[in-house]
Amino acid sequence: MQKYPRWPNLATMMFDRAKSWPDRPMLRAWRGGAWQSMSWGVFARQAASVARGLRAAGVKAGDRVLIVAENRPEYPIAETALLAIQAVPVPAYTTNTVTDHAHVLRDAGVRAAIVSSAALAGRVRAAAEQTGGLDVLVTMEDIPGATAWGSLIADDRPADDIVAEAEKIDGETLACLIYTSGTGGAAKGVMLPHRAILSNCRGAFELLRPLGLGNEIYLSFLPLSHSYEHTCGQFFLLSLGAEVVYARGLEHLAADLAAVRPTIITVVPRILEVFCDRARAQMAREKPLRQWLFGVALECGLRRVDGAQRWFDPLLHPLLDRLVGNKIRARFGGHLKALVSGGARLDPDVGKFFLAFGLKIIQGYGQTEAGPVISANPPEAIRVETVGHVLEGVDLRIADDGEILVRGDLVMQGYWGQPAATAAVIRDGWLHTGDIGAIDTDRYLRITDRKKDIIVLSGGDNVSPARVEGMLTGEGEIAQAVVAGEGQAGVCALLVPAEGAGMAGVAAAVARVNARLSVIERVRKHALVEPFTVENGLLTATHKIRRGLVIKAYAELLARLHV
């Protein structure tokens, strides 16, 4: 593809690609013990059929429709169908609790839902009982009392009527409502119009053009309810005409990489960290000669990455690459053009490990409120300690206090039903990201600090400390709480016990709170500490906990907890 088309909306983009490549494989999933593919032409007919069926069931333009499903072909079919009739998809995590779902249903005024399994439908139904019920419930498995997915895709007519209708939708129309944690604890609905996601897609295409984008194969395993995978792994890759293959789950990821042999994957840093640790651990069990070869290959590769090659490295590298590098790359299928890392900060040493063995790690930066991609490293000039250049079409400046401000088509319309919260982050057209950064002389952006308190785990998930801390201190055994986990695999807590409460009582309280939290929010480990007071500097004069100072004061203890 030499030039990226300018589509008016996402539904038209999907149908246009289907018209161009009706017989090309589009979606692949593991069904009945084998990989099964769906063509673009079948996709278009099914999306149009679902659009007609949802409308007949009562779904109207502007209606918010919850989607709770694993990554599977039905996901983009459902989204395209909803977009074509101007309904608003509301992606939700499969790990959401009943309480999480109830908040979204109530806040967004959701009256319809599309759910994959009976177990997930049970949670959605329980949440709906708290919010006034659902008018429409579609399930991908046959479940009593729900509309079966099979009945929605039964209309095999050409998509012409739905395609013509979709072409009238403009870029300012709301394309999705994605809920993300806020500092106040309750998740806010980020309103992303078509223009925001299309802007991200165009910018990503221009940035990645040097890779020679063509007939790509993409393995999708990050949750589609996360804006990163939703925009990049779904709409961007499909806009290129890539075949999207849905992984069977993280437990099968190694086998799926070998079988699918993708050319591009998106990852979060935690996955790369685990791979790096396992590769080193496995090598430590090998015979001395293989350990030596691995060490020499890594050192040679790192010198090349750092621009500090010795005179003999260019002679040594081809041999070491055949003996060691090929084996490392083979674990990812052997055909990767790039691993695109986002959702959380990537440790530069981990990034350099992969670059040393010839795997391009393209680290990016963004947030849901910006589509979500703001910047990424150019593949021909990667600097792993940075988050690269801003995408084409993005205006970025650094405020006087160092905060990163962003403007352009990628910026959200605002937070659903929260004009005050919207006005607080979008001022004079500029999105205030809450992150502190700097731009160097070569236009590379560096993130130096976080202005916001939101914890971003190494897997890219957002956790609101205020929410978790509030629930902990709501238990009688816990007087004060600070949770931490920025860049870590999970959340740990520093707890001050209430008077008379012992270790067992606090542990029981933590267990009760964890039972009400989603998987990513649960406190994995905790420690009891001395009270936070004005006298020791850990409380303000108005008795607010100084979270940053507490985390700094207990840095060594937290480091042990996170091991």
Question: Is pLDDT at 449 greater than 80 in this prediction?
Answer: no
Question: Is pLDDT at 506 greater than 70 in this prediction?
Answer: yes
**Backbone conformation region of residue 487, classed left if phi is above 0, alpha if psi is from -120 to 50, else beta:** left
Q: What angle do CA 393, 169, 49 make, to 5 degrees?
A: 120
Separation CA 288–CA 310 (nearest Å): 24
Report domain extents, the chain: 10-169, 269-450, 464-561
**Superfamily of segment(s) 10-169:** ANL, N-terminal domain (3.40.50.12780)
Question: Is pLDDT at 19 greater than 80 in this prediction?
Answer: yes
CB atoms within 10 A of CB 174: 20
User: What is the distance of C-alpha 492 from the center of its chain?
Assistant: 22
Count Cβ atoms within 10 A of the Cβ of residue 331 and give its class: 0-12 exposed, 13-18 middle, 19 or more buried.
middle
Q: What is the pLDDT of residue 309?
A: 85
Separation CA 421–CA 369 (nearest Å): 12
Taking Cα atoms as reference points, which of 228, 223, 260 lies closest to residue 244? 260
Domains 269-450 and 464-561 share a fold: no
Res. 546 pLDDT band, cuts 50 70 90: confident
In the block, residue with structure tokens 């440790």: 347
Name the CATH code of domain 464-561 (choices 3.30.300.30, 3.30.43.10, 3.10.580.10, 3.90.1150.10): 3.30.300.30
Res. 543 pLDDT band, cuts 50 70 90: low
Higher pLDDT, 345 or 109: 109
Res. 1 pLDDT band, cuts 50 70 90: low
Q: What is the pLDDT of residue 450?
A: 66
Q: What is the pLDDT of residue 182?
A: 47
Question: Is pLDDT at 251 greater than 60 in this prediction?
Answer: yes
Q: What is the pLDDT of residue 317?
A: 86
Q: What is the pLDDT of residue 95?
A: 87
pTM: 0.85
Q: Which residues contact 463 (CB under 8 A, 6 or more apart)?
A: 181, 454, 455, 456, 457, 483, 485, 491, 520, 521
Question: Is pLDDT at 447 greater than 80 in this prediction?
Answer: yes
Average pLDDT value for residue range 263-270: 92
Q: What is the pLDDT of residue 531?
A: 95
The domain made up of 269-450 is a member of CATH 3.40.50.12780: yes
Average model confidence (pLDDT) for the chain?
94
Give residue 194's identity as a one-letter amino acid code.
H
